[in-house]
Amino acid sequence: MPFLILILLIVALLVGPGLWVKRVLARHSDERDDLPGTGGELAAHLMDRFKLEGVTLERTDQGDHYDPQAKAIRLSPNVMDKKSLTAVATAAHEFGHALQHAKNYTALSTRTVLAKQAVNVQRFASIAIFALPILVVIPGGAILARFLLIGIIGSMFLTTLIHFVTLPVEFDASFGRALPILEQGDYVSDRDLAKVRKVLLACALTYVSQAMFGLLNFSRWFRLLRR
């Protein structure tokens, strides 16, 4: 019974945050004519208000995000074009990342450096995963296969590390940048602030489930290495 409870807790940790995030974002995505503008209009207004030079606003189908390399705030159509609490809060959150970049926020810089390194590491891991089963059956290939397995585990560890470094970056974007702007700028009414806080929390928790999955994969491969 204790083992079953442990399994259920692990499943809840892995799946729960993602389900909660989707539920919150969907709940507050209804059109609101009383809002002063769409998410895209808010982002453009904030870029002008805070004078973020060189930052662009783009439409994307790849999910809402800020690209520090391109200095681009990228918003999905539902955020760019809709007047909803989800759209406004999400746009403010992504603008928060642009503001972090402009202020040389250390955690964002660290994550960017790690992400650049992770691209090359993940390419190696993809090749290694393909080569691993071949080396296992080749005489004398077991030693090289073990080194490749260490490399795969290292790439997973780096990916997990990036996710955990991202967490404080996300919370700062939501509650250190976006929330004060929305509160002090009267972009949403006082009666909506509690709902906006939930949406901002959902934006910040997007990476939690990814980090937990990363830890699970890392521990699984580490156990395989010890055999």
CA torsion 67-101-56-70 (nearest 10°) is: -40
Query: Is 41 known to be catalytic?
Result: no
Q: Please give the pLDDT value at position 81.
A: 97
Q: How does residue 13 score in pLDDT terms, banded at 50, 70 and 90? A: low
* Token pair belonging to 38: 């769409």
Identify whether the C-beta of residue 175 lies closer than 8 Å to the C-beta of residue 92: no
Given the residues 31, 94, 170, 183, the one annotated as active site: 94
Confidence at 117, pLDDT banded by 50, 70, 90 = confident
- Asked if residues 213 and 14 have their Cβ atoms less than 8 Å apart, the reply is yes
| Prediction pTM value | 0.78
Residue 3 confidence (pLDDT) above 60: no
Contacts of 130 (CB under 8 A, 6+ apart): none
Burial class (CB in 10 A: 0-12, 13-18, 19+), 51: exposed
Give residue 12's pLDDT. Answer: 66
pLDDT at 224: 47
Q: What is the per-residue pLDDT for 23? A: 93
pLDDT for 40 equals: 97
**Mean pLDDT over each residue of the chain, to the nearest integer:** 83
**pLDDT score at 51:** 94
Asked if pLDDT for residue 215 goes beyond 60, the answer is no
- 141-150, 195-204, 216-225: which has the highest mean pLDDT? 195-204
**pLDDT: which is higher, 128 or 38:** 38
Q: Cα separation of 68 and 62, whole Å?
A: 15
Quote the CA–CA distance of 6 and 12 in Å, as a whole number.
10
pLDDT digits (tens, 9 = 90+) for 37-75: 999 999 999 999 999 989 999 999 988 999 999 999 999
Per-residue pLDDT, averaged over 69-82, amounts to 96
**Phi, psi of 11, rounded to the nearest 5 degrees:** -60, -40
